[in-house]
Amino acid sequence: MRLVEKTIRNIKSLDHEAMRKARVHQDNLTKPAGSLGRLEELAIKVCGIRGEFRPVLGKKRVVVFAGDHGVVEESISAYPQAVTAQMVHNFLNRGAAINAIASRNGAEVQVVDMGVNHDFGALPGLLAKKAAKGTSNFTRGPAMSMEELHWCLEAGIESAHQAKSEGVDLIAAGDMGIGNTTSASALFCAYLGFSPGSVAGPGAGIRPEQVRHKAEVVRKALRANKNSLSCPYRILAALGGFEIAGMTGLFLGACEKRMVALVDGFIATSAAVAAIRICPRVKDLLIFSHLSEEPGHRRVLEKLKARPLLSLDLRLGEGTGACLAMSLVEAALACHNQMATFRSAGVSGKEK
């Protein structure tokens, strides 16, 4: 059995008994019931994800998947494709935003080359999982083959499994890939029924007339791949990126291992949607970390009925918003696990 199918079979739903016990516990802590708002909800959800009444989380890691996109030939980005490889070097030299935020939050950063159009050679800290030197231009046919797709999914799953074996319990997927907002927009159209104009946005900073061109490129991609849009795997192969497929695999693997998996912004959400379409149980097991400034992200989250934890006008990717949200997960669990109950503290409860 392929690793992907085995992983999907092993994914279990939320543990509702653990969540019931957690709710009772929350209501007995020294605070008015519900006064910690969404922190209470977050703690209860983590209990359900972990299958534990009082979960204690280990290490934190952000896995940044990098890949290039053939669709950059269509002039849909404000930056040249070479930036993908340059940013991989920047991650490895700890000079990117995700490095700074992760360092401040005590999280590890792992960088994975899923398909950058560059020969890196053997570099310390870079995990080589290259499927090819960038995807094909999906306005002319599928972005990748089914074999390449399964390679990427398995690489993502293996990243989650490796993290778990190394004591990581709180994990996020980050992305780097010039052109990947175009790919994500196409995926949202195919998976969720959006029109290209409603989800295609400025990405890294293109002008309004370029956004309109980007939407037309997405329409062209959907037409070129219309015979591949009835199967979740074929949709991802036709319209995705190597790094997006890697993130999809990481979400599947993290859910299988009952890790707490945080979804970053626009690009990571497209990977989360792919994982949900491949295995619907995944939806309740993921935590959506923040609302991206990319306009289509709000529409997608509303369609998913997902409530992000943060809204900071971020639109960088890299896993930055997800890494910031790790602190909220830890704060929620700290209150859940460390606060006294009314009885243990000798504090009077609410009068009947």
- The SS3 call for residue 343 is helix
User: Tokens representing 192?
Assistant: 């969720």
Q: What is the distance between the alpha carbons of residues 213 and 199, in angstroms, rounded to a whole number?
A: 13
* Residue found by looking up tokens 């490796």 in the block: 162
Chain centroid to CA 148: 20
User: Tokens representing 48?
Assistant: 């359900």
Q: What is the distance between the alpha carbons of residues 137 and 321, in angstroms, rounded to a whole number?
A: 29
Q: What is the distance between the alpha carbons of residues 341 and 299, in angstroms, rounded to a whole number?
A: 40
Is residue 203 within 8 Å of residue 210, measured between CB atoms? no
Report in angstroms the alpha-carbon separations of 288 from 66, 80, 160, 211.
21, 30, 18, 26
Q: What angle do CA 204, 209, 210 make, to 5 degrees?
A: 40
Q: DSSP of 213-253, one letter per residue?
A: HHHHHHHHHHHHTGGGTTSHHHHHHHH--HHHHHHHHHHHH
Q: What angle do CA 168, 280, 54 make, to 5 degrees?
A: 40
Q: What angle do CA 164, 3, 188 make, to 5 degrees?
A: 85
Query: Has 318 been annotated as catalytic?
Result: yes
Edge-first strand order for the sheet with 260-263 is 126-128, 108-115, 59-67, 168-176, 260-263, 286-288
Q: What angle do CA 56, 58, 63 make, to 5 degrees?
A: 135
Which of these is catalytic: 74, 148, 243, 318? 318
* Other beta carbons within 10 Å of 311: 12
Tell me the catalytic residues.
318
